[in-house]
């Protein structure tokens, strides 16, 4: 991790001192993770955050067998309902599916009434997500981004893991002395549990408890109860935001963070990428072997790799989520379709390696962790447009692909000659765009979930506003630069 600090405090172009009016700043395309409303006349903010408490169950031999039976029956019920939904023209309607399978789930699998309702809901949610991917694939094919057909609905989805979805006060409830009552096929069992002290205190102090899920970990042969808890986070208002930062994610550096005081941090991905390469090689060897023991080893390896990525993302998110901050993140929706790269035999060895690294890391997971951790410390995470963040000069506003020679780590503006690390430049651009979000929030009093900015004119207006942002006071938004670097004042 490196620190980086120099240069003066940035400004938001010709927006001027203080805060801009709603007419000065166009409606920005945002995807705010937490919906918050601030009213100048009345405070209407109650910020709630949902977290998951992981409780380890310590059942007796008989109780463990009861949990095994109900989890296997629930899994079989999911697969049965999935096949029925597939036969019903791949329906994603929960009501339609429940009418078709409810009686069979009660009689054939022995599930309780609430569990028999949860099964079709879960299956319909799976089909809805698959239909969304099908529609996205059709759109991508029409736009020429890909030629591959999505095959997720060619056959009925199959459920493999032992999981049971439980409703609070119906399928499970908490007892005294750290015990939980869980409904099974043969009645309820009261099982002792243990967990993180903070989560145990939240449960004991009557936090709003939601649904839970029984999860079985095959490696340790242990059952866990994943409980949804809704807690009240610190109240967030625009006046309480004292820090604005931008976060750029990538492969060489998993994240680069910079705030408006010009304090930056680089979160190197070298060690993580090296370990991910080791997992990739081991997985490749086991897949070639193809034996039963190799497949068992593959399952264990996939779980270890997933936990390693999640742990690394947690550590980075914890350091980025500082109190009283508005954190800007890139909106990477459809980034794989927007950024075309050669693959297969057409790609060079270096390009194939880059494609492999790009597919390894879960940046959406990192964004999600930053979001909920920020909310717990009285901060907000917001998404801003990612267009041209690594090609726009923060000193003169010139935007061009030629500003990134050979697409390397060095940014060199062909207009004013300004040079900077490309990832740091991207995080600065994101921080400046986040500054506009905060000013819009202050002037209008409303932080919207996702304003509608469809259309080329709205997009052009927003990008034009972004091009006026400057990191320092030494240049004007209306300054015209020659390629030689000489500045000519605008008329």
Q: Which two three-digit tokens encode residue 447?
A: 């932080």
- Residues 128, 140 contacting (CB under 8 angstroms): no
DSSP three-state, residue 201: helix
- Residues 326, 380 contacting (CB under 8 angstroms): yes
d(CA 149, CA 147): 7
Q: Which residues, at least 6 apart from 336, have a Cβ–Cβ distance to it below 8 Å?
A: none
Residue whose tokens read 């930056």 = 264
Which burial class, exposed, middle or buried, applies to 159 when counting CB atoms under 10 A from its CB (0-12, 13-18, 19+)?
Answer: buried
DSSP codes, 315-377: HHHHHH--TTEEEEEEE-TTHHHHS----GGGS-HHHHHHHHHHHH--HHHHHHHHHHHHHHT
DSSP codes, 253-310: EEEEEEETT--EEEEE-HHHHHHHHHHHHHHHHHHHH--HHHHHHHHHHHHHHHHHHH
- Residues 115, 137 contacting (CB under 8 angstroms): no
d(CA 376, CA 51): 10
d(CA 91, CA 99): 12
What are the backbone dihedrals phi and psi of residue 284, each rounded to the nearest 5 degrees, phi first?
A: -65, -45
List, in sequence order, every beta strand (DSSP E) within 58-135. none
Q: Which residues, at least 6 apart from 217, have a Cβ–Cβ distance to it below 8 Å?
A: 223, 224
pTM of the model: 0.74
Q: Which two three-digit tokens encode residue 424?
A: 């740091």
Q: Specify the pairing of strand 380-385 against strand 325-331.
A: parallel
Rounded to 10 degrees, the C-alpha dihedral 298/300/303/306 comes to -60
Residue whose tokens read 């243990």 = 194
Q: Specify the pairing of strand 419-421 against strand 410-412.
A: antiparallel
pLDDT means over runs of 10, the chain (491 residues): 42 35 32 36 57 94 96 97 96 95 96 96 96 92 86 94 94 94 95 94 86 91 94 81 91 90 90 84 88 86 83 94 92 66 65 63 88 89 86 85 82 87 91 86 69 55 70 48 35 31
Question: What is the DSSP-derived secondary structure letter of residue 477?
Answer: T
- Residues 291, 348 contacting (CB under 8 angstroms): no
**pLDDT for position 159:** 96
Q: Which residues, at least 6 apart from 110, have a Cβ–Cβ distance to it below 8 Å?
A: 73, 185
Q: Which two three-digit tokens encode residue 18?
A: 């203080």
- Residues 321, 377 contacting (CB under 8 angstroms): yes
Q: Which two three-digit tokens encode residue 108?
A: 């054939």
Give me the residues paired with residue 326 across strands.
244, 380
**pLDDT for position 3:** 44
Residue 376: count of CB within 10 angstroms of its CB = 15
């Amino acid at each position: 991790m490196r620190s980086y600090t120099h240069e003066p405090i940035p400004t938001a172009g010709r927006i001027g001192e203080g805060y801009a009016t709603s007419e000065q700043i166009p409606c920005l395309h945002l995807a705010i993770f937490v919906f918050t409303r601030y009213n100048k006349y009345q405070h209407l903010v109650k910020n709630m955050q949902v977290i998951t408490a992981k409780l380890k169950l310590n059942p007796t031999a008989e109780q463990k067998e009861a949990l095994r039976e109900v989890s296997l029956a629930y899994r079989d019920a999911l697969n049965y309902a999935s096949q029925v939904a597939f036969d019903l023209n791949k329906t994603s309607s929960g009501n339609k599916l429940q009418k078709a399978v409810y009686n069979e789930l009660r009689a054939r699998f022995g599930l309780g009434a609430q569990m028999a309702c949860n099964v079709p809901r879960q299956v319909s949610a799976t089909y809805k997500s698959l239909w969304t991917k099908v529609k996205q694939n059709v759109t991508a094919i029409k736009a020429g981004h890909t030629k591959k057909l999505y095959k997720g609905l060619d056959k009925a989805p199959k459920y493999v893991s032992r999981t049971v979805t439980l409703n609070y006060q119906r399928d499970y409830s908490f007892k005294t002395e750290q015990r939980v009552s869980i409904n099974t096929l043969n009645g309820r069992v009261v099982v002792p549990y243990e967990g993180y002290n903070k989560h145990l205190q939240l449960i004991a102090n009557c936090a709003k408890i939601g649904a839970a899920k029984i999860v079985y970990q095959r490696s340790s042969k242990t059952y866990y109860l994943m409980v949804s808890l809704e807690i009240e986070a610190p109240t967030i208002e625009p006046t309480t935001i004292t820090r604005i930062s931008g976060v750029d994610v990538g492969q060489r550096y998993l994240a680069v963070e910079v705030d408006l005081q010009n304090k930056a941090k680089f979160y190197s991905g070298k060690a993580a990428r090296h370990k991910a390469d080791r997992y990739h090689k081991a997985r490749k060897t086991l897949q070639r072997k193809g034996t039963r023991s190799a497949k068992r080893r593959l399952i264990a390896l996939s779980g270890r790799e997933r936990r390693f990525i999640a742990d690394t993302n947690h550590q980075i998110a914890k350091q980025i989520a500082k109190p009283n901050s508005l954190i800007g993140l890139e909106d990477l929706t459809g980034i794989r379709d927007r950024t075309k790269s050669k693959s297969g035999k057409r790609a060079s060895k270096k390009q194939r390696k880059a494609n492999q690294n790009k597919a390894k890391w879960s940046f959406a997971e990192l964004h999600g962790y930053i979001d909920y951790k920020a909310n717990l410390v009285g901060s907000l995470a917001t998404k801003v447009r990612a267009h041209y963040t690594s090609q726009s000069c923060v000193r003169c506003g010139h935007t061009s692909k030629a500003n990134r020679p050979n697409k390397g780590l060095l940014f060199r503006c062909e207009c004013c000659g300004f040079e900077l690390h490309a990832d740091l430049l991207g995080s600065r651009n994101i921080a400046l765009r986040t500054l506009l979000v905060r000013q819009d929030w202050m002037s209008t009093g409303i932080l919207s979930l996702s304003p509608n900015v469809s259309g080329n004119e709205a997009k052009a207006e927003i990008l034009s506003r972004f091009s006026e942002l400057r990191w320092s006071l030494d240049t004007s938004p209306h300054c015209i630069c020659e390629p030689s670097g000489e500045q000519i004042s605008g008329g």
